[in-house]
């Protein structure tokens, strides 16, 4: 969380910084700020969004070729102007922006206060810039060395950018636990720093992903990378494949809506070239490389957070059904702190859109210590999780900007479906006819998702209009559709602030049924396959208590429409693939309700897309 950008080069820094912050705003939007070197250090910062920062800087002639910008998701200190980044050193000649958490800031602050440092904000970040200043003065070293020594005293996670009015042709960046990308500009001495590649892509396609414990210095046009142990590194330059239209709204009112509508393509891209229906083979490198390991696996553990955890639950059902292997799905945050039993025979799959979620990363590090094989299912290329894992498969959903995850979820489920089938195939657990049938069905999913998008709009809008003022929603599903119910409820609460809960349909009678009355909308995922009769009975139980039933049903079903208040139809597909279709109308329902309630759909309050703090 928090987005950071930096620029040094022949151009004016400000336009890049402000554009970059807009691209990174999904990472946090409590406050925004920039600092530019223009003779001295000029800092502009404010509570609120990047737009508020732009309003603040309107009509100000901001010039300078070196600068940094920050958009904040508050951790230490409430979101206000003073706690907004950048932060200055005591003497005001050093400036810092930071994404992450400095855990030992309180003790450092105490020591520095005793030495006469006066702090203006409540942030952990300000302590770090004072520490660098203190080390520079006491050890009589240059700024780079002072940064390096200071970072050796820091416990916690950081991506930082530092500049100094005493060294006006210099920019320093460093990372540990929070991401940072270097963009290599086309002109000599031109470099960009950013939390991810989205601010950089319209300026250069050549990037280097920094590793943990690395510090970069650009000084007098020269780039140097060293580790905090002072070992020099050579940057590896990647070519960015991301396109500009992938990170713009493209005529849609919101990124979330665009991303919902992109799902036929993102699902297709996530399966494209990974299997052959005619030859009944898989072309997933990770499966080939780990064939022996997969054959001998005793168990799979899946870790993730939020929506990715829901995808993990679908993965559990898929792997257990097809590969007949026990699977445990864990909240990464719980897993990492409860001394879990992990062995060298385990495969730990981490699911993460951003590839940066702090808890998921930490869970993987723990599993690595215990000798497990690590596998990543991530969307952001070059992010921390894919670099930590032994193997993995990217989801190819393309950049997801809306804070509420949509296309990343269906892409994750697509990849997990392929993994389940691939593991089943290696272990000889899936008959040829069944594999062929699954491949055939899978190939039809993108066009079926398109049908859902084309056909359900009117129904969903009508339902949204009727229930937009509801205060509670219940979502129910069985089997593969239990995680869909969880995800549907999460989407609604995230962006419309309506309390919503997802439950296994049969669990309703153990509690939630007490809530049902004529005011309670209950979304039931009730496809023709799976446990249709059982879910039908659950719907009757809801109706007997006058609940309002919104049923997601298979096209052509005539029984449920007789008792449900509203129906949303999806095409028929294999039971195992229903989540890929049933999720889509639930995303749209949340979207429309949130828009009707006047909520900020792409940037819901208090949330951030990339959660790099635990
Ligand atoms: C945040 C986001 C969610 C996301 C979760 C996990 O809470 O708002 O949309 O599902 O983090 O993120 P990851 O990047 O690991 O999938």
pLDDT digits (tens, 9 = 90+) for 241-260: 888 888 888 899 999 999 99
Two tokens, residue 468? 């937009």
pLDDT tens, position by position, 397-430: 999 999 999 999 999 999 999 999 999 999 999 9
Atom of ligand 1 nearest to the CA of 607: 8
Rounded to an integer, the average pLDDT of 563-589 is 97
The reply to whether 305 belongs to the active site is: no
Kindly indicate the confidence band of residue 508, based on its pLDDT and cuts at 50, 70 and 90. confident
Q: Point out the catalytic residue in the list 2, 95, 305, 378.
A: 2
pTM of the model: 0.88
Distance 289 CA to ligand 1 centre (A): 29
CA dist 196 and 183 (Å) reads 10
Cα-based angle 157, 160, 161 (whole degrees, multiple of 5)? 175
Q: Can 2 be counted among the known catalytic residues?
A: yes
Concatenating the DSSP letter of every residue in 354-413 gives SS--HHHHHHHHHHHHTT-EEEEEESSTT-HHHHHSSEE---------SSS-SHHHHHHH
More confident residue, 78 or 389: 389
Q: In whole numbers, what is the pLDDT of the chain averaged over residues?
A: 95
> From the CB of 353, is ligand 1 less than 6 Å away?
yes
Answer yes or no: is the C-beta of 307 below 6 A from any ligand 1 atom: yes
Of the residues 45, 109, 448, 609, which is catalytic? 609
Task: Please report which confidence band the pLDDT of residue 611 belongs to, taking 50, 70 and 90 as the band edges.
Answer: confident
Q: Which of 29, 308, 384 to mutate to test the pocket of ligand 1 (most atoms within 8 A of CB)?
A: 308
Distance 600 CA to ligand 1 centre (A): 18
Ligand 1 within 6 A of CB of 1: no
Look at residue 610 and tell me whether its pLDDT is greater than 80.
Answer: no
- Residue-wise pLDDT for 40-73, tens only, equals 999 999 999 999 999 999 989 899 999 999 999 8
How many whole angstroms from 133 Cα to the centroid of ligand 1? 36
User: What is the 218 CA–ligand 1 centroid distance (Å)?
Assistant: 33
Which burial class, exposed, middle or buried, applies to 440 when counting CB atoms under 10 A from its CB (0-12, 13-18, 19+)? Answer: exposed
Does residue 611 have its Cβ closer than 6 Å to ligand 1? yes
- For residue 612, pLDDT over 80 is answered with no
Q: Report how far residue 551's alpha carbon sits from residue 151's, in angstroms, rounded to the nearest whole number.
A: 55
Q: Give the atom of ligand 1 at the shortest distance from the alpha carbon of 304.
A: 15
pLDDT in tens, 276-301: 999 999 999 999 999 999 999 999 99
The tens digit of pLDDT for each residue in 149-168 reads: 999 999 998 999 999 999 99
Take atom 5 of ligand 1 and give the residue whose Cα is closest. 306
Confidence at residue 74, expressed as pLDDT on a 0 to 100 scale: 85
Q: Which of 196, 611, 613 to mutate to test the pocket of ligand 1 (most atoms within 8 A of CB)?
A: 611
Q: How far is CA 243 from CA 73, 125, 532, in A?
A: 27, 33, 43
What pLDDT sits at residue 511? 86
> Is 350 a pocket residue for ligand 1 (Cβ < 6 Å)?
no
By most ligand atoms within 8 Å of CB, the mutation choice from 357, 487, 489 for ligand 1 is 357
- Give the number of the atom of ligand 1 that is nearest the alpha carbon of residue 385: 15
């Amino acid at each position: 969380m928090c987005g950071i950008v930096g620029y040094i080069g022949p151009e004016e820094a400000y336009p890049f910084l402000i554009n970059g912050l807009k691209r990174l705003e999904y990472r946090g939007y409590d406050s925004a700020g920039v600092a530019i070197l223009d003779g001295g250090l000029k800092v502009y910062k404010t509570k609120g969004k990047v737009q508020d920062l732009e309003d603040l800087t309107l009509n100000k002639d901001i010039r300078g070729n070196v600068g940094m910008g920050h958009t904040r998701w508050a951790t230490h200190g409430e979101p206000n102007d003073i706690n907004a980044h950048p932060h200055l050193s005591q003497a005001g000649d050093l400036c810092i922006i930071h994404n992450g958490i400095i855990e030992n800031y309180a003790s450092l602050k105490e020591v520095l206060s005793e030495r006469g440092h006066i702090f203006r904000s409540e942030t952990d970040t300000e302590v770090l810039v004072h520490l660098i200043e203190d080390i520079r003065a006491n050890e009589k070293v240059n700024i780079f060395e002072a940064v390096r020594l200071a970072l050796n005293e820091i416990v916690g996670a950081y991506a930082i950018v530092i500049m100094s009015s005493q060294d006006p042709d210099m920019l320093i960046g460093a990372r540990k636990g929070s991401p940072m990308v270097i963009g290599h500009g086309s002109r000599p001495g031109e470099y960009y720093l950013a939390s991810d590649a989205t601010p950089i892509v319209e300026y250069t396609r050549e990037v280097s992903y920094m590793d943990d414990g690395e510090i970069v210095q650009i000084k007098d046009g020269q780039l140097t990378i060293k580790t905090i142990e002072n070992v020099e590194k050579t940057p590896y330059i990647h070519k960015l494949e991301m396109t500009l239209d992938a990170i713009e709204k493209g005529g849609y009112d919101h990124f979330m809506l665009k991303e919902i509508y992109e799902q036929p393509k993102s699902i297709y891209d996530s399966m494209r070239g990974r299997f052959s229906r005619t030859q009944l083979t898989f072309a997933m490198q990770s499966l080939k490389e780990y064939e022996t390991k997969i054959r001998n696996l005793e168990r799979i553990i899946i870790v993730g957070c939020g929506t990715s955890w829901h995808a993990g639950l679908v993965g559990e059902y898929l792997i257990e059904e097809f590969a007949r292997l026990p699977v445990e799905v864990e909240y990464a945050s719980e897993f990492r702190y409860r001394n879990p039993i992990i062995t060298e025979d385990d495969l730990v799959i981490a699911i993460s859109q951003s590839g940066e979620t702090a808890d998921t990363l930490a869970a993987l590090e723990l599993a690595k210590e215990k000798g497990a094989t690590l596998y990543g299912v991530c969307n952001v290329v070059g992010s921390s999780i894919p670099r930590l894992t032994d193997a993995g498969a990217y989801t190819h959903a393309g950049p997801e900007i809306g804070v509420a995850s949509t296309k990343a979820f269906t892409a994750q489920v697509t990849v997990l479906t392929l993994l389940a089938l691939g593991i089943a195939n290696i272990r000889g657990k899936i008959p040829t006819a069944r594999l062929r049938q699954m491949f055939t069905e899978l190939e039809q999913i993108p066009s079926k998702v398109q049908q859902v998008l084309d056909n359900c709009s009117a129904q969903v809008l009508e339902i949204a209009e009727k229930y937009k003022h509801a205060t509670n929603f219940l979502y129910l599903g069985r089997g593969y559709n239990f995680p869909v119910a969880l995800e549907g409820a999460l989407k609604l609460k995230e962006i419309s602030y309506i309390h919503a809960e997802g439950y296994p349909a049969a669990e309703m009678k153990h509690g939630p049924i007490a809530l049902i009355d004529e005011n309670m909308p209950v979304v039931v995922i009730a496809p023709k396959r799976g446990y249709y009769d059982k879910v039908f009975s659950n719907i009757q139980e809801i109706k007997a208590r006058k609940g309002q039933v919104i049923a997601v049903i298979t096209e052509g079903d005539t029984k449920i429409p007789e008792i449900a208040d509203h129906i949303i139809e999806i095409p028929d597909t294999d039971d195992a693939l229903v989540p890929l279709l049933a999720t889509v109308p639930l995303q749209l329902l949340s979207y429309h309700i949130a828009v009707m309630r006047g909520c900020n759909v792409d940037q819901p309050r208090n949330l951030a897309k990339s959660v790099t703090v635990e």
